[in-house]
Amino acid sequence: MSDKRNILFIFGTRPEAIKLAPLIKIMPQEYFNSSVCITAQHREMLDQIIDFFNIQIDYDLNLMSPNQSLFSITSKIIIGLEKIFKEITPDIIFVQGDTTTSFLGALAGFYIRTKVVHIEAGLRSRNKYSPYPEEINRILTGHISDFHFAPTERAKTNLLEEGITENIWVVGNTVIDALFLGLKNIKNESQQKYYDYFKFIDFKKKIILVTSHRRESFGKPFENICYALKKIAEYNENIEIVYPVHLNPNVKTPVYKILKEIDRIHLINPLDYNYLIWLMDKSYIVMTDSGGIQEEAPTLGKPVLVMREVTERMEGIIAGTAKLIGTDSDKIISETNNIINSENKYIAMAKAVNPYGDGKTAKRIKEIILSRINYEEI
C-alpha cells in the first residue's frame, strides 16, 4: 500500500464521540494521516468525552448556541465544513450514527467526491418522526455513504431492503468497545471516589437509573414519564431513582416541576461518562429513551425499559435485553413494577445475551478499511 491516506473523523455530540473514540485510537498512523473535526453541536457534554478518551482535536467549529434550531445548526455545519475542506482534502470521511452532524458530514463528503464511511449504519424505526430528526438523518447518511458498518444482521437487512447492496459489513457496535475502555479506566481509579460522588444514594436499595431527553417526547409524553416516575417511587420503598437531567429547558422544566420534592428521586446534573457507566453498573434497572444506553446496559446485565413509542434498536427487544414500554404513565408504572417485584422476569432480562457486540468492533473496521485500500477501492 503506497502513500498514506488522509482520513477525517467528523462528529459533534457526546454519543458520536463515545462511539468513534475506539476507532480513532486504533487507526494505525503508519497508514493514515488522521484528523478530527468536531462541530460541537453539543458543547459541554462533548468536551468531557474528548478529555476522558484523550482525543486530539484538529478542527473545532464550535457551533453550539443557545436555543439553536435545526435550520441554524444545519447551515452552520455545512458552511463550516466547506472552510475546513479548503485546508484539508480527506480521502476518507468517517461519520457515526444519526445526528445532524453525521448527515451533514456525509453530505459534505459527497460534495467533494470523497469516500464516506458510516459507522452504525442501517438502524431503522420506520417512523420518520421518531426518533426525530435522527431517523431521516440516518437514512440520508446511509444513501450517501460508500462503506457501511452495520452493528447487526437486522441493520444490514434494512440497508439491503432500501437498495444499498454493496460494501456492507456486520461488525457489532463500537459503543461496547468504548464501554470496555471506560470500565478499564475506572478500575484503575479509587472506587471510593465514585461512592463519595454519589453519597446521596442508598446503595442498599434497588437503584433505577433514568435518562430521558428525546425531542419527540417534549410536552405531554415527557409529563407522562415524570408522573410515572413519581408513582413508581411512591409505590416502591425499596428503590431509589437517579435521574441525570438534560440541560434542555424542554426537559429540565417539567422534570423539576413534577419531581423535585419527591422522596427517593434524585435529580442531578448530566453525568460525565465515567460516572454514568459506573452508576449504570451499580443500578438494578435502567429506564431510558437513549439509543446508546439500550446497547450499553445489557453488557452490564441491566434490564432496559425503553420509554419510547418506537425504537430503531429492535435487536435488544427481540433478544429480551430491553422492553419497549412507551410513554403512557400507566404502562410505564405497570412494566416497571413488574420488573422490580418479579425476580424471574428480572433474571430473564438480565441474563439475555446482548446482540450489540463483543468489544472488537473497532478492530474489525480498521482491518476492513485497510483491506479496501489494498484493493485500491479508496
Q: Over the stretch 99-141, which tens digit does the pLDDT of each residue have? A: 999 999 999 999 999 999 999 999 999 999 999 999 999 999 9
DSSP annotation of 215: G
Q: Is 118 a catalytic residue?
A: no
Catalytic residue among 5, 42, 120, 146: 120
Q: Over the stretch 263-272, which tens digit does the pLDDT of each residue have? A: 999 999 999 9
β-bridge mates for residue 118, sequence order: 95, 148
Q: Scanning the structure block, which residue is given the C-alpha cell 434524585?
A: 266
Catalytic residue among 124, 213, 264, 364: 213
The mean per-residue pLDDT over the stretch 252-271 comes to: 96
pLDDT for position 41:
84
Torsion angle defined by CA atoms of residues 171, 313, 175 and 346, in that order, rounded to the nearest 10 degrees: -120
Q: Over the stretch 114-125, which tens digit does the pLDDT of each residue have? A: 999 999 999 999
SS (H, E, C) 72-122: HHHHHHHHHHHHHHCCCCCCEEEEECCCHHHHHHHHHHHHCCCEEEEECCC
Q: Is 263 a catalytic residue?
A: no
Q: Is 98 a catalytic residue?
A: yes
The H or E element that residue 227 is part of is helix 220-235
pLDDT for position 17:
97
The mean per-residue pLDDT over the stretch 76-81 comes to: 97
Catalytic residue among 16, 134, 281, 289: 134
Q: Which three cell numbers stand for residue 101?
A: 452532524
Catalytic residue among 43, 143, 154, 215: 215
Using a cut of 0.85, tell me whether the model's pTM lies above it. yes
**Domains of the chain (ranges plus CATH)?**
5-173+358-374 (3.40.50.2000), 190-350 (3.40.50.2000)
- Of 307, 324, 361, 294, nearest to 121 by C-alpha is 361
- Of 214, 273, 270, 218, nearest to 242 by C-alpha is 270
Q: Is 60 a catalytic residue?
A: no
Q: Over the stretch 180-233, which tens digit does the pLDDT of each residue have? A: 999 999 999 999 999 999 999 999 999 999 999 988 889 999 999 999 999 999
Q: Is 162 a catalytic residue?
A: no
Q: What is the CA radius of gyration of the chain?
A: 21
Catalytic residue among 16, 98, 177, 240: 98
Catalytic residue among 43, 143, 154, 246: 246
pLDDT band at 2 (very low <50, low <70, confident <90, very high): low
**Number of helices and strands in the chain (H, E):** 16, 13
Q: Is 120 a catalytic residue?
A: yes
The region that residue 31 occupies, defined by phi over 0 for left and psi between -120 and 50 for alpha, beta otherwise, is alpha
- Of 244, 355, 356, 353, nearest to 301 by C-alpha is 353
- Please state, in angstroms and rounded to a whole number, the distance separating the CA atoms of residues 144 and 138: 10
| pLDDT of 92 above 70 | yes
